[in-house]
A and B are shown apart, each in its own frame.
Chain A
Amino acid sequence: QLQLQESGPGLVKPSETLSLTCTVSGGSISSKDYYWGWIRQPPGKGLECFGSIYYRGTTFYNPSLKSRVTISVDTSKNQFSLKLSSVTAADTAVYYCARRHKDGGAYDIWGQGTMVTVSS
């Protein structure tokens, strides 16, 4: 069955760039039926979407975060990635990658999440 796994540094310094990768296993990222997205959850708080990418590279960013976010895809590795620039302590959160069904408009498969702390 399809699984997603986030990877990347657990600690990032303020003003630097946070970089995470999501590896898709048990299925292909090159599916015409899905987008691949990033969502975060600050400690004890709710969920916030960064945006999604289609396997062909088309990106869809949340306007609220667009200026600092880059999402990319590498179909040869079955991976997609998130870069968030100029981080501050407010970016401390659990970061999830998830599959988004194009027609259903919902995130149907999620990774386990990875905790990223922004601190010097």
Chain B
Amino acid sequence: QKEVEQDPGPLSVPEGAIVSLNCTYSNSAFQYFMWYRQYSRKGPELLMYTYSSGNKEDGRFTAQVDKSSKYISLFIRDSQPSDSATYLCAMSAVLSTGGTSYGKLTFGQGTILTVHP
């Protein structure tokens, strides 16, 4: 079983629709929960992050974390064609190796979203 599971889609919606993207995870040591947006041939862009259960809103985007169910979601309201991209969930944990601590991100596989006019 993968530590982070994300439905790869693809997901195609009409402009203005509400989009729901989801990830489940199995590692209780994860501390931060993130959503990245990646356009073609670009690096992932950090959209939102949170470290506690509950909702966090930023404009049209809402990130939701449920630690008891090990489930996170990203909602996009009033979706636009410019939202068409791959969305990656990611979770971080602090690991120690040979006396060095570092933050390790574990990514979902990414969901390809297309918003058509």
Partners in one complex: no
